[in-house]
């Protein structure tokens, strides 16, 4: 079978769907091919919108993340109005408790809370905690609900969504993608967008590789101490949902695409969560899962034009995919529509790796 599309997005996770939505809103005809919508990293995340809690240094990455965080309220509102669904966006702030206080001078920073103030904001923290950072502008979204909202919005806007189709090969000549070979025949398009996350290196020699994260969730018993905001500890994060659930993450493992939860991974999460928030031990276990962060050698995404004039890249978002979804979708759609690269994208070009043929091991050796 031979099929064609105006714009073909390869990958049906958060980036693919959100970019498709932006393009469809501009009346473009968009097709998304997804190997497995259920396996996309958007389902595996915890949904933190945490440029500050993640401790990103002043950089173009921090600028990109802060701008994306600021887009969230309007972006979510637009999607919720379109679909009538709730994405669970909650500007609850993030508290980052520490067992060791930072050097003296930073204790006077306005976002540092001494133990007494910290305990007023969040009762039930460990007696080992010596204070913490408070990031009121960091937030969260229910990533699984967001995935449903994005899917529904794309459908409503007329995006053609194909789940269960694997792109096996991207065919190209010296300058252009000529077609993609899939498990459902060949597809041709005017423009292609690659949003295949941790699986990107299956299709192009991009230095993107998986870093596994294991997560779990618990549910509050009736009289449990509740979390009022996200807790982002040095070895763990606890993300409370408004219904009383807490999502706990995450391990960070270089084990390729090795599937499954492991006793070691889950034990690590349970031990760290109970240390930070002892009342956690009385919650009810609910679910375990895992996912693969799309990681690059410098842990920054690969965004923008590619060596092929009709292929755009949006992959490698590592720990910040949910946070970066709105800005990625907006700027990648702008690039597709106008061939204009926003200055914010310049630091994230594939060209920083020299050549798309570079090997992961060689790049890792030189990564900062």
Least distance to ligand GLY, CB of residue 210, Å? 12
Q: Looking at beta carbons only, is 44 or 303 nearer to ligand GLY?
A: 44
Helix (H) / strand (E) element for 43: namely: helix 41-44
Least distance CB 250 / ligand GLY (angstroms): 4
Token pair listed for 196: 């295949």
Least CB distance to ligand GLY at residue 260 (A): 18
Instruction: With CB under 6 A as the rule, give the number of residues binding ligand GLY.
Output: 6
Span 309-328, contacts to ligand GLY by CB under 6 A? 319
CB 53 within 8 A of CB 107: no
The reply to whether 213 sits near ligand GLY by the rule CB under 6 A is yes
The site string for ligand GLY over 222-241 (x = CB under 6 A, - otherwise) reads: --------------------
Measured on CA atoms in the order 90, 91, 95, 96, is the torsion positive or negative? positive
Q: For every residue of 100-149, which 3-state class applies, written as one string?
A: CCCCHHHHHCCCEECHHHHHHHCCCCCCCCCCEEEECCCEECCHHHHHHH
Select 249 or 326, whichever has its Cβ closest to ligand GLY: 249
250 binds ligand GLY (CB under 6 A): yes
Q: What is the DSSP string of 154-186?
A: HHHTT-EEEES--EEEEEE-SSSEEEEEEBTEE
Asked if 72 and 332 touch (Cβ cutoff 8 Å), the reply is: no
Nearest residue (CB) to ligand GLY, 47 versus 207? 47
User: Which of 250/336 has CB closer to ligand GLY?
Assistant: 250
Give the DSSP H or E segment for 61. Answer: helix 60-83
Residue 293 binds ligand GLY, judged by CB under 6 A = yes
Cβ-contact 265, 251 below 8 angstroms:
yes
Q: Please choose, from the candidates 247, 75, 242, the residue with its C-alpha nearest in 3D space to the C-alpha of residue 149.
A: 75
In this structure, the strands spanning 2-10 and 185-194 are parallel
Considering only residues 256 to 275 of the shown chain, the ones binding ligand GLY according to CB under 6 A are none
48 binds ligand GLY (CB under 6 A): yes
Site string for ligand GLY, 349-368 (x = CB under 6 A): --------------------
Spatial separation of the C-alpha atoms in residues 368 and 366, rounded to whole Å: 7
Residue nearest to ligand GLY (CB): 319
15 touching ligand GLY, by CB under 6 A: no
> Which pairing describes strands 167-172 and 177-182: parallel, antiparallel, or unpaired?
antiparallel
Question: Shortest gap between Cβ of 189 and ligand GLY (angstroms)?
Answer: 31
Does residue 198 belong to the site contacting ligand GLY (CB under 6 A)?
no
Does residue 249 interact with ligand GLY by CB under 6 A?
Answer: yes
Give the tokens for residue 307.
């060596």
CB of residue 68 to ligand GLY, shortest distance in Å: 13
Q: Which residue has the tokens 């299709």?
A: 203
Backbone angles phi, psi at 367, to 5 degrees: -70, 150
Site mask for ligand GLY (CB under 6 A), range 64-83, x = bound: --------------------
Smallest gap from residue 249 Cβ to ligand GLY (A): 5
To ligand GLY, the closest distance from the beta carbon of 320 in angstroms equals: 6
Contacting residues toward ligand GLY, per CB under 6 A: 48, 213, 249-250, 293, 319
């Amino acid at each position: 079978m031979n099929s064609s599309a105006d714009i073909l997005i390869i990958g049906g996770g958060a980036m693919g769907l959100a970019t498709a939505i932006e393009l469809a809103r501009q009346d473009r005809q968009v097709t998304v091919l997804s190997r497995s919508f259920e396996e996309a990293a958007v389902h595996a995340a915890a949904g933190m919108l945490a440029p500050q809690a993640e401790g990103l240094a002043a950089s173009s990455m921090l600028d990109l993340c802060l701008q994306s965080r600021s887009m969230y309220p309007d972006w979510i509102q637009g999607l919720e109005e379109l679909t009538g669904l709730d994405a669970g966006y909650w500007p609850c702030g993030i508290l980052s408790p520490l067992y060791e206080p930072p050097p003296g001078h930073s204790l006077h920073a306005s976002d540092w809370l001494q133990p007494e103030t910290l305990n007023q904001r969040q009762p039930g923290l460990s007696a080992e905690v010596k204070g913490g950072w408070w990031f009121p502008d960091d937030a969260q979204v229910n990533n699984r609900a967001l995935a449903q909202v994005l899917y529904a919005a794309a459908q409503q806007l007329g995006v053609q969504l194909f789940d269960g189709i694997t792109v096996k090969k991207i065919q190209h000549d010296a300058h252009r993608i000529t077609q993609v070979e899939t498990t459902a025949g060949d597809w041709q398009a005017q423009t292609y967008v690659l949003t295949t996350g941790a699986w990107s290196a299956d299709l192009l020699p991009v230095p993107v590789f998986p870093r596994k994260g294991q997560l779990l969730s618990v549910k509050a018993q009736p009289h449990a101490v509740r979390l009022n905001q996200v807790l982002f500890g040095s070895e763990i994060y606890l993300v409370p949902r408004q219904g009383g659930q807490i999502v706990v993450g995450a391990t960070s493992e270089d084990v390729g695409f090795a599937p499954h939860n492991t006793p070691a991974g889950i034990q690590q999460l349970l031990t760290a969560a109970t240390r930070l928030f002892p009342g956690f031990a009385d919650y009810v276990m609910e679910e375990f899962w895992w996912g693969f962060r799309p990681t690059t050698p410098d842990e920054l995404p690969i965004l923008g034009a590619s060596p092929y004039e009709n292929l755009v890249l949006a992959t490698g978002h590592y720990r910040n995919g949910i946070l970066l979804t709105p800005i990625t979708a907006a700027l990648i759609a702008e690039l597709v529509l106008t061939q204009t690269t926003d200055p914010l994208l310049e630091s994230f070009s594939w060209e920083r790796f020299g050549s798309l043929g570079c090997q992961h091991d060689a790049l890792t050796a030189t990564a900062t």
